[in-house]
Amino acid sequence: MSLTGSTKPSDRQARVDRFNRVSDPAFLFLLSAKAGGMGLNLIGGSRLVAFDVDWNPAVDAQALARCWRQGQKKPVFVYRLVAAGTIEERVLHRQR
């Protein structure tokens, strides 16, 4: 299941609701950090893999907040994929 900038507005919440349903077999939700927008709560998720570090640390923080919300029953783990010696690594160090 995925949600990108090209996902129709009428389909966005239905996809999130399906992913959050315990009985649904969907276990992976691909979400573009910039396409997610406000109001998406992915409390069905317990892992966040961030592989596109943003210049704006608020974008990364918002991506984390989509998984860790009030109502989340599982611990949330965050993984960052960053290649050594790249501009992404420098951005990550400046965010901290």
Q: Which residue has the higher pLDDT, 85 or 67?
A: 85
Whether residue 33 contacts residue 54, with contact meaning beta carbons closer than 8 Å, is answered with yes
pLDDT tens readout for residues 31-65? 777 665 556 777 777 887 877 767 777 777 777 77
d(CA 50, CA 81): 6
The full set of domain ranges for the chain reads 2-95
Where are the extended beta strands (E) located within the chain? 2-3, 30-31, 47-50, 77-80
pTM listed for this prediction: 0.66
Cβ neighbours for 93, distance < 8 A, ≥ 6 positions apart: none
pLDDT at 7 over 90: no
20 pLDDT above the threshold of 80:
yes
Which numeric CATH code is attached to 2-95?
A: 3.40.50.300
CB burial readout 31-51, b (16+ within 10 A) else e: bebeebeeebbbbbbeebebe
The distance from CA 49 to its chain's CA centroid, rounded to whole angstroms, is 7
CA gyration radius for the chain? 14
